[in-house]
Chains A and B, each alone.
Chain A
Amino acid sequence: MMLRTKRNKLKLGLLEIFAIAVGALYIYPVFLMFNNSLKTFREVIVDVIALPSRLAIENFSTVVKRMNYGKLFMNNLIITFVGIVGIVFFSAITAYILDRTRNRYTKFVQFLIITPMLIPFQTFMITLLKTMNTFRLSGSLLGLGVQYWGFGIPMATFIYTNFMKTIPREIDESAMIDGATTFQTFMRVIFPMLKPITVTVIVLDVMWIWNDFLLPLLMVNSSEKTKTLVLAAYTFVGQYNTQWHFAMTAMVLAVVPSIIFFILLQKHIVKGVVAGAVKG
Chain B
Amino acid sequence: MKINTKTRTKFETVLFTLPAVILVSMMIYIPFVSSGYYSLTKWNGISKKATFVGLSNFKTILFESPQFLKVLLFTSKYTAWFMVLSNVLALALAILLVQRLKLANFLRGLFFVPYIMSMTIVGFIWKFIFSEGFARLFQMTQWEFFRWSWLGDSKIAFYSVVLVGVWQQLGFYIVLYIAGLQSIPPDVLEAATVDGAGGWKRFFQITLPLLGPSITICLFMSLTNALKVFDIVLALTQGGPGGSTYTATLDIYREAFQNNNYGLGSAKALVFFLVVLLLTQLVLWFSRKREVEI
A contacts, CB < 8 Å to B:
12, 15-16, 18-20, 22-23, 26-27, 29-30, 32-33, 36, 44, 47-49, 86, 90-91, 93-94, 96-98, 101, 103, 105-106, 109, 112-113, 116, 118-128, 130-132, 135, 147, 149-151, 153-154, 157, 182-183, 186, 207, 211, 213-214, 218, 230, 233-234, 237, 244, 247-248, 251, 254-255, 258-259, 261-263, 266, 269-270, 273-274, 277-278
Contact = CB atoms under 8 A, between A and B. Distances in A.
Contacts of A119: 28, 32, 273
Given A30-B114, A123-B269, A149-B23, 15 more contacts: A12-B99, A19-B101, A29-B167, A30-B117, A32-B128, A123-B32, A130-B34, A150-B27, A153-B20, A182-B16, A213-B230, A248-B128, A266-B109, A270-B175, A273-B172
A153 B24 contact: yes
Nearest first, the 6 A-B pairs at minimum CB distance are A150-B27, A123-B273, A211-B118, A124-B31, A128-B31, A94-B20
B38 A126 contact: yes
A118 B108 CA distance: 30
A49 B118 CA distance: 23
A244 B132 contact: yes
Contacts of A101: 9, 13
Most buried by A among B117, B126, B129, B277: B117
Interface residues of B, number: 86
A259 B13 contact: no
A102 B121 CA distance: 46
B39 to A, nearest CB: 9
Interface stretch (B80-88, B133-141, B187-195, B202-210): B133-141
A274 B128 contact: no
A132 B113 CA distance: 34
Contact of A90 (B19, B38, B119): B19
Interface string B12-27: 1110110111011111
Interface stretch (B58-66, B248-256, B286-294): B248-256
Given A105-B14, A122-B269, A124-B31, A20 B128 contact: no
A20 B35 contact: no
Nearest to B111: A26
B13 A105 contact: yes
Instruction: Specify the main secondary structure of chain A where it touches its partner.
Output: helix
B87 to A, nearest CB: 13
A123 B119 CA distance: 20
B136 A48 contact: yes
Contacts of B29: 116
Nearest to B264: A126
A31 B35 CA distance: 43
Contact of A30 (B23, B28, B102, B113): B113
B262 interface: yes
B35 A123 contact: yes
A258 B96 contact: no
Contacts of A90: 19-20, 23
B227 interface: yes
B126 A29 contact: yes
Contacts of A182: 9, 12, 16
A266 B104 CA distance: 14
Interface in B30-78: 30-32, 34-35, 38, 45
